Amino acid sequence: MTETAIAASGLRKTYGDKVVLDGIDLTVPSGTVFSLLGPNGAGKTTTVNVLTTLLRADGGTARVAGHDIESEAKAVRAAIGVTGQFSAVDELLTGQENLQLMMDLSRAPVRGGKRIVAELLERFELADAAHRPAATYSGGMRRKLDLAMTLVGNPRIIFLDEPTTGLDPRSRRTMWSIIRDLVAEGVTIFLTTQYLEEADQLADRVAVLDQARLVAEGTPDELKRRIPGTHVRLVFTTAAELDAAARILTDSTRDEEALALRVPSDGGTRSVRTLLDRLDEYSLGAEEFSVHTPDLDDVFLALTGHTVSGSEVAA
Ligand SMILES: Nc1ncnc2c1ncn2[C@@H]1O[C@H](COP(=O)(O)OP(=O)(O)O)[C@@H](O)[C@H]1O
Ligand SMILES: [Mg+2]
């Protein structure tokens, strides 16, 4: 697929003297998933709002579905679906009524609207709850309803702003599988997230946004190669034990201050058992043991030298 769904160049946005977007360039080929990864306050929602014409940029240009966001905002809006960070669901209406409302509001009311609503409720596993007020829905159900409402107009480009933040792991997985189904139908997805794992699971390309700038861009694998992988962390009680363990586990990295060793590992039971057996052979025991999967903090530390909270890390 060579067609471009979203192309932005030099997008800028400031609020007063605070620069929120400082020259954002990005390209999203049609039919792919692009993930904008960044912590709270990085500028993710602002980027989404600018690209979806909800907010005017102060500088730069972008085309979405081939239309200019500034001069052809209406055409852009007709081509896209947006599920915002904060739900568009009306709590007082039932799931079915929320969807029907979207159907009635949609630009070109379609025949068979009732059937489409029923199909969406079925597809999002909301049929049983269809006649209950949305106020009674769980967080996961609400997000699903929100996304179903976005799909009413059958958009080919969908913006999802933190679709799984605050969801339990099971609802998160359901959401991922819904997103994968959309991609399989050829829909282009622009997804923001705070979770490295989510970007890794879903995205063809990931851009890391930090304090108004893109600090890295690539496939999830390319990004992960730049950060420390999954590892086991062992904490010892004495420097002598740390020394001894470091001599045995030769590919480990040591943290003198914390008396800790970082040992590359896939975290699976087999490799963990081998590791512990090895320590046992030398009668070494660790006081603390943890398996560490890289997260957003690791990405930021590796790419920017600071953690998500923004505190500088001594080199
Ligand atoms: N309307 C606004 N007025 C002033 N500052 C804003 C406004 N909207 C967002 N900001 C600031 O812009 C920065 C980026 O916000 P946002 O795009 O919402 O980040 P994210 O979605 O990544 O959490 C934040 O520091 C936020 O406080
Ligand atoms: Mg946001």
Q: How far is the CA of 55 from the centre of ligand 1 (A)?
A: 12
The CATH topology of domain 4-225 is Rossmann fold (3.40.50)
pLDDT above 90 (res 153): no
Architecture of domain 231-293: 2-Layer Sandwich (3.30)
Of 32-36, 92-96, 148-152, 223-227, the range with the lowest mean pLDDT is 223-227
**Spatial distance between the Cα atoms of 292 and 302, rounded to a whole number of angstroms:** 15
**Spatial distance between the Cα atoms of 234 and 134, rounded to a whole number of angstroms:** 47
Closest CA to 29 of 6, 62, 10: 6
Report pLDDT for 60.
Answer: 97
**What is the position in ligand 1's atom list of the atom closest to the CA of 39?**
22
Q: Which residue has the higher pLDDT, 30 or 84?
A: 30
Question: For residue 83, what are the CA distances in angstroms to 159, 190, 242?
Answer: 6, 10, 50
Report pLDDT for 315.
Answer: 37
Of all protein residues, the one whose alpha carbon is nearest to atom 16 of ligand 1 is 43
pLDDT above 70 (res 136): yes
Mutation test residue for ligand 1: of 11, 13, 15, the one with most atoms within 8 Å of CB: 15
**What is the position in ligand 1's atom list of the atom closest to the CA of 212?**
14
Cβ 247 vs Cβ 236: under 8 Å? no
Q: How far is the CA of 257 from the centre of ligand 2 (A)?
A: 36
Could you state, in order of their start, the residue ranges of all structural domains in the chain? 4-225, 231-293
- Pairing outcome for strands 288-292 and 231-235: antiparallel
| Closest ligand to Cα 213 | 1
Report pLDDT for 1.
Answer: 43
Mutation test residue for ligand 1: of 45, 46, 159, 162, the one with most atoms within 8 Å of CB: 46
Report pLDDT for 311.
Answer: 44
- Are the folds of 4-225 and 231-293 the same? no
Mutation test residue for ligand 1: of 20, 21, 195, the one with most atoms within 8 Å of CB: 20
**pLDDT band with cut points at 50, 70 and 90 for residue 226:** confident
Task: Work out the percent of the chain whose per-residue pLDDT is above 70.
Answer: 95
Report pLDDT for 110.
Answer: 66
Average pLDDT, the chain: 90
pLDDT above 60 (res 312): no
**pLDDT band with cut points at 50, 70 and 90 for residue 313:** very low
The tens digit of pLDDT for each residue in 255-292 reads 899 999 999 888 889 989 999 999 999 999 999 999 88
pLDDT above 90 (res 182): yes
Report pLDDT for 270.
Answer: 92
Of 64-73, 136-145, 194-203, 296-305, the range with the lowest mean pLDDT is 296-305
Q: How far is the CA of 141 from the centre of ligand 1 (A)?
A: 27
Report pLDDT for 223.
Answer: 84
Of all protein residues, the one whose alpha carbon is nearest to atom 2 of ligand 1 is 15
Q: Which residues line ligand 1 (CB under 6 A)?
A: 15, 20, 38, 40-46
Question: For residue 156, what are the CA distances in angstroms to 31, 38, 51, 81, 234?
Answer: 8, 25, 15, 8, 48
pTM over 0.75: yes
**What single-letter DSSP state applies at residue 135?**
G
DSSP string spanning 86-106?
S----TTSBHHHHHHHHHHHS
